[in-house]
Structure 1
Amino acid sequence: MTATNLLPIRDAASILAVRRDGPEPSVLMGMRGAKAVFMPSKYVFPGGAVDASDATAPLARTLPDTCRQRLMAEQRGQPGSGPDAIAAAALRELAEETGLLVGRDTGAACDWPGYREAGLCPDAGALTYFFRAITPPGRPRRFDAHFFVVDAADILGDLEDFSRACDELSHLHWVPLSQARQLDLPFITEVVLAELSELLAAAKHGQRLPCPVTVPFFDNRGASPRFCQIA
């Protein structure tokens, strides 16, 4: 067994911010740097590893019950990362990498940049748990990646203002779904986009995005890849 197969699997969270106010749905994506260790020069969704501090982040609302149950349905890669910590990581990464906030005024602001200045706490209740995939062996880093969807209607402020974003993602823009697969994408991102297209096809005009019937899970922890649906 090689050293890369023995790498720890860290919990990670990504967020698919979806706009439905144009002629077709679009999703927010950016390009990772050419020198990045993990997925260099690929277009991805905002996201990153779960930090220990995410477990203590004050949330305006916790995840919906169905999402919490699905997050807890199978053992995760990083013991101690509860559902709310993973959801908090998704919202923190969105704020850091794009400058966009999903939050509410609870009278006690979160200390994260952006939220602190706005006097808000991140709102995990606006998220929908959507997809899960564990990085296969042999990669320089391995993650137990959890994907969430948020409707752009729940994002505060100007959806085109990325002035507060860090420099981790370049070329940030809202990509029409019909054009997204023309970008240089990781394989798993292509799969996630296909699932998103199906979810949006089931969405009724003027209503909130529906909760998926099940959450697809690509499990690469064992000797052989395993695929299942988390109900």
Structure 2
Amino acid sequence: MGQRGAGAAFMPSKYVFPGGAVDRADAAVPLVAPLGEPCRSRLAGTDIAPDTLAAAAIRELFEETGLALGQPATWADPPADWQSFAARGLRPDASGFRFIFRAITPPGRPRRFDARFFLADADAVQGDVEDFSAACDELSHLHWISLAEVRRLDLPFITEVVLSEVALLMRGGQQPGVPFFDNSGTRPTFRRIT
């Protein structure tokens, strides 16, 4: 996790997961291994293709932390936002992703998002998982933190909810579907994506 800047317009000073927006070029990124099931089918049916969402998550993780989820491979002409990743001799690998949560921000917030949260094993990171030296400056205080200690940080509400799901999964619990907090309409709804 990392801390957003105090002057940020959205969630200032909060500790958050790496993340961000889908870039147009993410749709053309050649994954060395695509999303598996049931992750792929649970992400289907939205306006963004499942592999595009996965590529965006891998790119944002790399940009904000310097950590690369990929496999050794080359690609002919990487998009501008992917050149540093490709320079490591890697192509992105989404096969280990687990889609665990979706949330759409309520209306009236300074920034709105439609976020998908993925879980991945740290062993899938290429290189030293403690090396954040290639990270951009969007997040400060980047560090791994245990589930037992994370609640001491200044967290957004949605991050606390997602961490509860992560804790359930880490204890061996099962999700009866991916939790979805949907605030896109006039009434907030909670449902599960099966």
Q: Under TM normalisation by the shorter chain, which class is it?
A: over 0.9
Alignment match of 1:125 (pick from 86, 95, 108): 95
Determine helix, strand or coil for the equivalent of 1:181. Answer: helix
Tell me which residue corresponds to 2:13: 41
**Cα deviation digits, residues 22-56 of structure 1 (max 9, x gap):** xxxxxxx0001111111111000000011111111
Runs of 4+ off more than 4 Å: none
Matches of 1:145 and 1:93 in 2, distance apart? 13
Tell me which residue corresponds to 1:99: 66
Matches of 2:108 and 2:148 in 1, distance apart? 32
Alignment match of 2:178 (pick from 215, 221, 224): 215
Measure how far apart 1:113 and its partner are. 4.2
Measure how far apart 1:212 and its partner are. 4.1
Root-mean-square deviation (CA, aligned residues, Å) is 1.5
Matches of 1:67 and 1:46 in 2, distance apart? 20
Matches of 2:169 and 2:106 in 1, distance apart? 26
Conservation of the 8 A alpha-carbon contact between 1:96 and 1:113 = no
Conservation of the 8 A alpha-carbon contact between 2:176 and 2:192 = no
Conservation of the 8 A alpha-carbon contact between 2:64 and 2:136 = yes
Tell me which residue corresponds to 1:86: 53
* Alignment of 1:229 onto 2:184: no
Matches of 2:83 and 2:159 in 1, distance apart? 28
Conservation of the 8 A alpha-carbon contact between 1:30 and 1:46 = yes
Tell me: CA distance 1:114–1:212, structure 2 relative to 1, closer, same or farther (3 Å).
farther
Q: So what's the TM-score if we normalise by structure 1?
A: 0.79
Matches of 1:218 and 1:155 in 2, distance apart? 29
Matches of 1:102 and 1:53 in 2, distance apart? 18
Give the aligned length.
Answer: 191
Q: So what's the TM-score if we normalise by structure 2?
A: 0.93
Conservation of the 8 A alpha-carbon contact between 2:64 and 2:139 = yes
Measure how far apart 1:117 and its partner are. 1.8
Measure how far apart 1:65 and its partner are. 2.6
Tell me which residue corresponds to 1:9: none
Q: Return 5+ residue gaps in structure 1 as ranges.
A: 1-28, 204-210
* Alignment of 1:174 onto 2:144: yes
Measure how far apart 1:217 and its partner are. 0.3
Choose 148-157 or 103-112, whichever is displaced more. Answer: 103-112
Q: Return 5+ residue gaps in structure 2 as ranges.
A: none
